[in-house]
Each structure stands twice: as C-alpha cells, then as structure tokens.
Amino acid sequence: MVEGFRAYAHRGGSKIAPENSPAAFASAVALGYVWLETDLRSTRDGIAVVHHDPDLDRTTDLSGPVLDQAWRDVSRARLANGENPLRLDELLEAYPDARLNLDVKEPAVVVPTLDALRRANAWHRVCLTSFSTLRLRAVRRWVPHPVETSAGPLEVLLHRTTPLPFTRLLRSTPDRLQVPTRLATSTFIRRAHARGLAVDAWTVNDPGDMKRLLALGVDGIMTDDPALLRDVVRSHGGWWPDVPPDRTRVR
C-alpha cells in the first residue's frame, strides 16, 4: 500500500446520507476523510452548485435543469433528508482543511468554479477533473495558479496506448489517472507510475475489490461507503489523513 494513499468520499458518501448533501460531507469528515469528491453544475446566474445531474429531478423535490434556474430557486430545493443543495464556495468555507476532487460537469460551470476557487484561494487543495478532455484543457489554460488535474477519457486512452519513451510527446498534462476499476490493472498502474502519474479507482463499494486494488498499489479509491473503505484501509496498515480533519458542519 502506497504512502499518501487517498481515500475519497464519493459525493460525500451516499451510504451515510443523501449524495452531495451537507450531512454526507460532514459524516465523511467526522470519519477522518480529508478528500471529498463531488460534482459541479452552474445555475443560470453563474453559481457553482454541488450537484451531479443536469437536472434537479432525481435528488431533490424540484425539477428542471439546474442551468435554467437562478441560484435563488435552486437553493430552495430539498434533498431527501430535508437539507438544501450547497454552493461550491459554501463547501470550501465549511471545510478549510479538506481537499476536494471536483468534477466539472459542463462548460458553463468552468468559470464559476474558477471564480469560487479564486475567492477562497483554494488552488492548493483541489483536484479538477472532468469526463471532457477539452473541458479539462480549457481549465488548465485558464487557471491563474498551478492546480492538480486528472486525465480526461482521451488522455487516459493515450496513456494506456502510448509507449513510455513517447510520453513526453503527449500534449496532456494530468497529475492523476482516475479510472473505473476494470482499468485499474497491475499493468496500467505500473505504466502510470513509471510516468509519474497516480492512479485512482472509482467507484468501489465492495471490500474484496478494495483489498485487491490496495494490493495492486492503487493510489486512491473513491467510495460511496466511507466507513467501509476506512476500515479496509486500516486493515492494510494505513490511514493517513494528510491534514487534521475539520469538524465544521455545513449549515
């Protein structure tokens, strides 16, 4: 198991509270999690909202695309536990010692995300990721400070298929390869490490899969079950939060 291993609470941990809810993040931090994974959508008036889906229907009592509504309206939505959705700046403020893995879900949220990070001066404690390689390249061009990013799907493919001596020719500059478990093989991890890249696997909720990935030397695991992952990591001789957890509860 690698020193500096990252345990990520995926969307805060939907096994303990509704995904991306204040309660989920608070529970994960109380368990000792430093890394919180979440998703970002933009409102019509340019607010970065902690929310996965393009619309509100599945996880709140409201409906319709987030992007079509003002923050004033989105803020009134109720999650399954009665809490309201969070803005990115609220999450950053509530947990100033936490690290955030931020999935930039759409082009419209790129600028609001960077604005929130600038106001909080949080560049050093985030990893920006996206399923769009073009979106990630835009983020890398526009960030005013060095910031960690993961690879987009095309970049992952290039790193899987490009021979090691030609790595320097790749235009992409990710720090981490965040991949589904089926791609996190021993060969893939070994090749990534030879290139100086970390490998994180998602989304892992089975203890057997967690143990297998740890044995392969994966650098991080994302889970919906933070308590389970913590126990598995501890059983493998490590639980290394790199900063003391902040106990602040959002709202």
The three-class DSSP label of residue 56 is coil
The residues, ordered by sequence, that sit 6+ positions from 78 with a Cβ below 8 Å of its Cβ are 60, 61, 62, 84
10 forms beta bridges with 37
Three-state DSSP state, 105: coil
**169 φ/ψ angles, rounded to the nearest 5 degrees:** -85, -10
Please tell me what DSSP assigns to residue 66: G
SS3 category, 220? strand
* CA distances (Å), origin 56, targets 32, 59, 81: 30, 6, 15
Residue 4: CB atoms within 10 Å: 10
Q: Is 162 helix (H, G, I), strand (E, B) or coil?
A: coil
Residue 102 contacts by C-beta under 8 Å, 6 or more apart in sequence?
A: 38, 39, 40, 88, 113, 126, 127, 128, 129
Residues catalogued as catalytic: 10, 52
The counts of H helices and E strands in the chain are 9, 10
Q: Which tokens hold the place of 106?
A: 């759409």
